[in-house]
């Protein structure tokens, strides 16, 4: 028997149309969070020089890419979308290995990239501007979209293909060029996306990929004078640093950050539906979604019934390696995230919340090789507890009793974040009241706080975002600038506001 193991696959940076090693000569290993014995791949530990080269390549490529007719750019994206469809299963499996979430969810992640790619490809034949009247005779007025330049795209690990696609596709269709940096825990899915774009025919230098740390690679991408646009998705803490780094040269920055999302369950709700929603919203992606339903404001009249059902369902969830089709919840992304969850569970207990289920690291057998934690529910929470205000980013749901919709809305809005919220009710008046009064960028009725579609704006208010939106036509507003154009065909000098 041949016991020799195949050498691990080494993945390179993509700069100016070439797959290249980092000039640093260093690499980092990426392991499967469900099985630390499995090396997913070896990636480039890049440095500032790699970033500078990638930005220079993007700057050079911008000169020709910006004037390619957008429908032609769209044709490349259509090709990329079709290739993603063909590769969906393979990419989903690789994503489960590097990120841990179950196959159903990684298929959804790739599907989101497919949807976004098709959507933005179609924008190549739209990118609508407007025409309008002029106050002067024989004068024509319009405004149109212009590309901006080089974009730095920095992404987190929880949606490793979907989130990069939300950024790169609108950037490209608008005529910009990009440098992308995925999180160090999940570089493979972004690599796969970039490779697909290359094979679909994106010209050299238009898309560049540099892997490595946030402190070195990320910082260099935020501070280079040739970068005009920064799109960042990640924690609020890092987003604050990104915002400060962009300020001196007034780079446009789109910041999509943390959340502390709430499901409000009213006494007239379809309770079984609400329980299923809370389960999917709270424990899908192991609670590691920016839109995770980490809080539930639960009407006192249905408190006991809901809690009984919810706890029973959470206890029944099968936790394990996401490649196993019977598994319903995968591991946490890494040891540090697991420790964060452990700390918050201790905080919750010390604050006096009632631990209803979970609250422990899963151990024994294959669990010992991954970062597994049990689905955890706290009951009888006070909205002021830290577990009800701070983002935990793990499988921990806090239930807060409430007595009315007004109270639920107050609890819901009482955090610094404003990403997503939802209400379960059969009363249309209450649904509209909550829709009007919740301060979140996304709102659902009779569904959990997760489930965004690519043709609707995505993003949050308050400390979740800085006012921009991803996806939909809203993304075009970030990746292009309006140019107002006046065409005077009167053959004489006409002065606005003066020659009235």
Q: Which stretch binds ligand NAD (CB under 6 A): 19-27, 71-79, 88-96, 229-237?
A: 229-237
Q: Choose the catalytic residue: 256, 391, 402, 470.
A: 256
Helix (H) or strand (E) run with residue 104 in it: helix 103-123
- Judged by CB under 6 A, the residue of 119, 157, 378, 444 near ligand NAD is 157
Whose CA is closest to 148, among 220, 234, 230? 230
Which tokens belong to 115? 């949807």
Give the CA-trace dihedral at 377, 422, 298, 342, to 10 degrees: 20
Q: Classify 393 in phi/psi space as left (phi over 0), alpha (psi -120 to 50) or beta.
A: left
The set of residues, in sequence order, having a beta carbon less than 8 Å from that of 485 and lying 6+ positions away, is 141, 142, 143, 144
Which of 349/386 has CB closer to ligand NAD? 386
Nearest approach in angstroms of CB 336 to ligand NAD is 9
241 forms part of the interface with ligand NAD (CB under 6 A): yes
Let me know if 290 is a catalytic residue: yes
- What are the angstrom distances between the C-alpha of 420 and each of 286, 292, 417? 17, 8, 9
* 116 makes contact with ligand NAD (CB under 6 A): no
Q: Beginning with the edge strand found earlier in the chain, give each strand of the sheet holding 130-132 in spatial order.
A: 130-132, 139-146, 481-488
CB of 471 to ligand NAD, least distance (A): 10
Helices (H), 160-296: 162-173, 187-200, 219-223, 236-246, 271-283
Q: Spell out, one character per residue from 436 to 465, where the chain touches ligand NAD: x when CB under 6 A holds, - when not.
A: ------------------------x---x-
- Which of the stretches 142-150, 212-220, 276-284, 430-438 binds ligand NAD when contact is defined by CB under 6 A? 212-220
* Closest C-alpha to 251, from 147, 146, 152: 152
| Binding segment toward ligand NAD, per CB under 6 A, in 3-11, 80-88, 156-164, 487-495 | 156-164
Q: Is 287 near ligand NAD (CB under 6 A)?
A: no
Minimum CB–partner distance for residue 129 and ligand NAD (Å) = 28
Residue 256 is a catalytic residue: yes
Smallest distance, ligand NAD to C-beta of residue 149, A: 19
Based on CB atoms, which residue is closest to ligand NAD, 134 or 340? 340
Nearest residue (CB) to ligand NAD, 236 versus 433: 236
- Cβ count near 2 (within 10 Å): 4
Catalytic residue IDs: 256, 290
Q: Which residue ranges make up the site for ligand NAD (CB under 6 A)?
A: 154-159, 181, 183, 214-215, 218-219, 222, 233-235, 238, 241-242, 256-259, 290, 391, 393, 419, 460, 464
């Amino acid at each position: 028997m041949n016991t020799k193991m195949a050498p691990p696959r080494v993945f390179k940076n993509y700069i100016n149309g070439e797959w290249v090693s980092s000039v640093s000569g260093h690499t980092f290993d990426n392991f499967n969070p469900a099985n630390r014995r499995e090396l997913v791949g070896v990636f480039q530990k890049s440095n500032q020089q790699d970033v500078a080269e990638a930005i220079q390549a993007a700057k050079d490529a911008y000169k020709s890419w910006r004037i390619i007719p957008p429908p032609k750019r769209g044709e490349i994206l259509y090709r990329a979308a079709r290739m993603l469809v063909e590769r969906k299963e393979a990419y989903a499996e690789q994503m489960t290995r590097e990120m841990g979430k179950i196959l159903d969810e990684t298929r959804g992640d790739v599907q989101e990239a497919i949807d976004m790619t098709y959507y933005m490809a179609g924008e190549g034949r739209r990118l609508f501007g407007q025409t309008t009247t002029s106050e002067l005779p024989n004068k024509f007025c319009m405004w149109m979209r212009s590309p901006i330049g080089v974009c730095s795209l920095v992404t987190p690990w929880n949606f490793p293909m979907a989130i990069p696609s939300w950024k790169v596709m609108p950037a490209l269709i608008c005529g910009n060029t990009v440098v992308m940096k995925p999180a160090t825990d999940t570089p493979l899915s972004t690599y796969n996306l970039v490779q697909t774009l290359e094979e679909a025919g994106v010209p050299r230098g238009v898309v560049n990929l540099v892997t490595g740390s946030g402190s070195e690679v990320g910082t260099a991408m935020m501070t280079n004078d040739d970068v005009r646009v920064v799109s960042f998705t990640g924690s609020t803490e890092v987003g604050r640093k990104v915002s400060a780094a962009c300020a001196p040269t007034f780079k446009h920055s789109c910041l999509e950050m943390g959340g502390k999302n709430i499901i409000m369950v009213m006494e007239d709700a379809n309770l079984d539906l609400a329980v299923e929603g809370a389960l999917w919203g709270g424990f899908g992606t192991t609670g590691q979604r920016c839109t995770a339903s980490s809080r539930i404001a639960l009407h006192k009249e249905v408190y006991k019934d809901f809690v009984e059902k919810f706890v029973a369902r959470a206890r029944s969830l099968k936790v394990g390696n996401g490649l196993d089709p019977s598994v319903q919840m995968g591991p946490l992304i890494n040891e540090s995230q697991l420790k964060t969850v452990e700390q918050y569970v201790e905080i919750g207990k010390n604050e006096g919340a009632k631990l209803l289920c979970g609250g422990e690291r899963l151990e024994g057998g294959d669990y010992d090789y991954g970062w597994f934690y049990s689905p955890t529910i706290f009951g009888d929470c006070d909205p002021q507890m830290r577990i009800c205000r701070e983002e935990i980013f793990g499988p921990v749901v806090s239930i807060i009793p409430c007595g009315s919709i007004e109270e639920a809305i107050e609890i819901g809005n009482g955090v610094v974040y404003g990403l997503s919220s939802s209400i379960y009710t059969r009363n249309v008046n209450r649904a509209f009241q909550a829709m009007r009064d919740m301060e979140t960028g996304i709102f659902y009725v009779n569904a959990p706080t997760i489930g965004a579609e690519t043709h609707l704006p995505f993003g949050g208010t308050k400390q979740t975002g800085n006012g921009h939106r991803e996806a939909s036509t809203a993304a075009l507003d970030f990746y292009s600038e309006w140019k107002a154009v006046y065409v005077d065909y009167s053959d004489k000098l006409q002065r606005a506001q003066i020659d009235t």
